Amino acid sequence: MNIEAATACQVECPVDSASTALATGKPNFLATAYTHVGNGWTRSFPWTWSSTRSDCYSTVYTRSKGDGQQKVRVHVSKLYIRDATAAVFEITSQLHKDVQTKRSTRFRRWKRR
């Protein structure tokens, strides 16, 4: 390909934001997506590509509880992240599961004594 053909292609084929986002791997809408989920849970950090699991994004949600804060790391598959209903369902189920797990271990400890 010569220089004139490359220049013509750049003029005729502008790069859109969607293809740029796909090239970088992180969709643009994730900056403002799913900031508040419910029951006081708010997103503390931006969405990042998960280093521990493949094909998913992760972030941390926090909420005030009594004297301190509850923190839960949430992982959402890249297949679910664009579907708002599926993503919110996945986030809330992971938050609920984590809270229930902590609650059951706390009560289990008291039952053993």
Within 8 A by CB and 6+ apart from 27, the residues are 21, 81, 82
Residue with the larger pLDDT of the pair 69 and 13 = 69
Tokens matching residue 49: 């590509």
How does the average pLDDT of the chain come out, rounded? 75
pLDDT, position 109: 56
Query: In this predicted model, what pLDDT tens digit does every residue of 24-74 receive, in sequence order?
Result: 456 788 888 889 988 899 999 999 998 888 889 999 999 998 888 999 999
Helices (H), 25-112: 84-112
